[in-house]
Amino acid sequence: MIKTDIIIIGAGPTGLFAVFEAGLLKLKCHLIDALPQPGGQCSEIYPKKPIYDIPGFPEVLAGDLVKNLMEQIKPFDPGFTLGERAETLEKLNDGSFIVTTSRGTKHHAPIVVIAGGLGSFEPRKPPIPVIGEYEDKGVEYIIRDPEVYRDKRVVIAGGGDSALDWSIFLADVASEVSLVHRRKDFRGALDSVEKVEELSKIGKINLITEAEVVDLKGEGNLDSVVIRHKGQASDEEVKVTDHFIPLFGLSPKLGPIGDWGLEIEKNAIKVDNTYDYQTNIPGVYAIGDVNTYPGKLKLILCGFHEAAIMCQSAYQRIFPDKKYVMKYTTVSGVDGFDGSRKEAKREVVKSIN
Amino acid sequence: MSDIKITIIDREGEAHVVDAPTDMNMNLMEVVRSHELAPEGTIGICGGMAMCASCQCYVLSHHHLLSEKSFEEEDMLDQAFYVEDNSRLGCQIFMTKELEGLAVKLAPEST
Ligand SMILES: Cc1cc2nc3c(=O)[nH]c(=O)nc-3n(C[C@H](O)[C@H](O)[C@H](O)COP(=O)(O)OP(=O)(O)OC[C@H]3O[C@@H](n4cnc5c(N)ncnc54)[C@H](O)[C@@H]3O)c2cc1C
Ligand code: FES
């Protein structure tokens, strides 16, 4: 069991900055994110795009903002559980919480902060009615262990970078790789597109373009996919296969957090913003894009502000008898948990005798 | 007044005639959001960058007045589900006076 002061669900900009604000109050944080990397939307959707409305940064790439946030919180040594979705929230008799992830990792803390943004990023599933029946029985949306596909027949669908990259990679692992894509053109890094073309010419990738997978077949496990070619509704091709891997990117979903008994309005968690961004479950806070209150703006800057306010309240919940007075970092400096200390140089005062 | 009237059929099939300003560089996805015609979190996920297809719609009128699809729009629609010949990304359709009377239908949410 991972023990900490604050469990933060979501390692987007809001969750990351909350680590810093908590650190100033000597509170330790552990972050959980469904994505394999920190940064939330900034890393997943637009890492190479510039942001213009972070105070003090006339222009900063989203990816660089995340890098800077990671650097800024380093002294506070946060823990990370990445690539796992927070699944359940359990309240113990002493008022503390256990958060368990999709892979069964348990986290225990007196405070839970949901900084889940638009939700956890989940694979987009093609609208094939029976697809759910074959999940993990031949249909996978994420390739975790490429060895699973050794000497197997694989059909990949999609036209983006991950469809191209995995087709190239599995061409050397699987006994047969087919790549199904709606158009002749692929969007993706030029060298990947060229490599796929090359592998297709020598027969290592079976390229099926202007086509879509429309149905799946098999008793229990998947044994074939039905492919429809553009403009030929009646002319369907049945392709025998062991695995079907649709790679159509990720889309955020509020997911299991929606079932935790929190007050939800328009896909967001209602909080008490006049005070501290606490939810209707005492000890559970919601900050950043995931919360809602009158006048809410979904901006990074607002998430940062909410993180600072939330931490003061969390501190008071953990230590009801202590009074903490807010200090400026310029005056008090920053004491890392690793023994590091940052502070402004003291003015040298020279007295004249 | 620089508003135009357009018709948006929501995902439940209900038609809404709404005012859309033409002087705010607003796109159709933003018009849908401002009138709350699709639940939060189901439209405009990429903020209008032709990167998510959550704003896909079927254009029922005024096709000839719409700007050509850009390479990015074409590419994104290629990755999307439920794509028809009249599919466009709402975030790439900007409100101009010429679009008075435009009618569109929101494509189903792709999960
Ligand atoms: C294209 C685009 C451009 C933008 N431009 C700007 C801009 O210029 N300026 C600006 O201020 N804002 C901008 N934004 C908005 C900004 O990105 C968000 O306000 C910001 O990312 C919110 O941060 P967050 O940490 O609250 O949530 P997110 O960044 O959404 O991070 C939330 C994280 O929580 C994780 N998560 C959710 N639920 C779970 C769960 N159950 N288990 C595990 N993990 C979970 C998700 O995987 C995600 O990584 C833009 C957004 C987009 C899409
Ligand atoms: S809002 Fe994402 S593609 Fe239009």
What's the rounded mean pLDDT across residues A237-252?
Answer: 91
pLDDT for res B1: 61
**Ligand 2 centroid, distance to B46 Cα (angstroms):** 5
Does CATH number 1.10.3720.10 belong to domain A125-248?
no
What's the rounded mean pLDDT across residues A141-147?
Answer: 90
Query: What pTM did the predictor assign?
Result: 0.88
> B3-106 belongs to which homologous superfamily?
Beta-grasp domain (3.10.20.30)
Q: Is B111 on the interface with A (CB under 8 A)?
A: yes
What's the rounded mean pLDDT across residues A258-276?
Answer: 91
């902060």: which residue's tokens?
A113
Q: Cβ contact (<8 Å) for A124 and B81? A: yes
CA-nearest of B20, B31, B28 to B59 is B28
Q: Whole-angstrom Cα distance, residue A260 to residue A63?
A: 32
Q: In terms of pLDDT, which residue wins out, A273 or A34?
A: A34
Among protein residues, the one whose CA lies closest to atom 39 of ligand 1 = A120
What chain A residue is nearest to B76 in terms of C-alpha separation? Answer: A187
Q: Give CA A280 to chain center in angstroms.
A: 25
pLDDT, one tens digit per residue, over A87-112 is: 999 999 999 999 999 999 999 999 99
Which has the minimum average pLDDT: A116-125, A275-284, B5-14? A116-125
Please indicate whether residue A99, judged by its CB atom, sits closer than 6 Å to ligand 1. no
pLDDT of residue A347 exceeding 70: no
In sequence order, what DSSP letters do the residues of B67-102 get, joined into one string? PPPPHHHHHHHHH-SS--TTEEEGGG-B--GGGTT-
Q: In ligand 2, which atom is closest to the CA atom of B89?
A: 4
A-contacting residues in B 64-103 (Cβ below 8 Å) = 75, 78-79, 81-83
pLDDT for res B65: 84
**Ligand 1 centroid, distance to A324 Cα (angstroms):** 30
What's the rounded mean pLDDT across residues A137-157?
Answer: 94
What's the rounded mean pLDDT across residues A197-215?
Answer: 94
Would you place residue A186 in the very low, low, confident or very high pLDDT band (cuts 50, 70, 90)?
Answer: confident
Q: Give CA A350 to chain center in angstroms.
A: 54
Number of H helices, E strands in chain A: 7, 25
Please indicate whether residue A15, judged by its CB atom, sits closer than 6 Å to ligand 1. yes
CA angle, residues A76, A302, A62, in degrees to nearest 5: 70
pLDDT for res A178: 96
pLDDT of residue A276 exceeding 80: yes
Beta pairing class for B103-106 and B3-9: parallel
Q: What are phi and psi of A215, to 5 degrees?
A: -155, 160
Q: Whole-angstrom Cα distance, residue A11 to residue B45?
A: 18
pLDDT of residue B78 exceeding 70: yes
> A2-121+251-342 belongs to which homologous superfamily?
FAD/NAD(P)-binding domain (3.50.50.60)
pLDDT of residue A219 exceeding 80: yes
Residue B23 CA: distances (Å) to CA of A41, A338, B6, B31: 30, 54, 15, 13
In sequence order, what DSSP letters do the residues of A126-192 get, joined into one string? P--TTGGGGBTTTB-SS-S-GGGGTT-EEEEE-SSHHHHHHHHHHTTTSSEEEEEESSS---S-HHH
| Mean of pLDDT over chain B | 92
Residue A27 CA: distances (Å) to CA of A77, A239, A347, B24: 11, 56, 30, 45
Would you place residue A286 in the very low, low, confident or very high pLDDT band (cuts 50, 70, 90)?
Answer: very high
pLDDT for res A302: 97
pLDDT for res A59: 97
What does the domain layout of chain B look like in residue ranges?
Answer: 3-106
**Ligand 1 centroid, distance to B40 Cα (angstroms):** 14
Which residues of B are less than 8 Å from A253 in CB distance? 111
What does the domain layout of chain A look like in residue ranges?
Answer: 2-121+251-342, 125-248
CA-nearest of A45, A36, A226 to B76 is A45
Q: Cβ contact (<8 Å) for A185 and B81? A: no
Would you place residue A29 in the very low, low, confident or very high pLDDT band (cuts 50, 70, 90)?
Answer: very high
Residue A331, both tokens: 């005056």
Sequence-ordered list of residues with C-beta below 8 angstroms from that of B81, at least 6 positions apart, any chain? A124, A126, A127, A248, B53, B108, B110
Residue B54, both tokens: 């959550």
Q: Cβ contact (<8 Å) for B111 and A45? A: no
pLDDT, one tens digit per residue, over A36-84 is: 999 999 998 889 999 999 999 999 999 999 999 999 999 999 999 999 9
Sheet order of strands, B56-59 included: B15-21, B3-9, B103-106, B56-59, B87-89
What's the rounded mean pLDDT across residues B41-63?
Answer: 91
pLDDT for res B90: 97
CA-nearest of B58, B54, B34 to B45 is B54
The secondary element (H helix, E strand) that includes residue A291 is strand A291-292
CA distance A204 to chain B (A): 24
pLDDT for res A160: 87
% of chain A with per-residue pLDDT over 90? 79
Query: Both ends of chain A: CA-CA distance in Å?
Result: 63
What's the rounded mean pLDDT across residues B4-18?
Answer: 96
pLDDT of residue A188 exceeding 70: yes
What's the rounded mean pLDDT across residues A247-265?
Answer: 91
Candidates A158, A187, A252; nearest CB to B45? A252
Q: In ligand 2, which atom is closest to the CA atom of B90?
A: 4
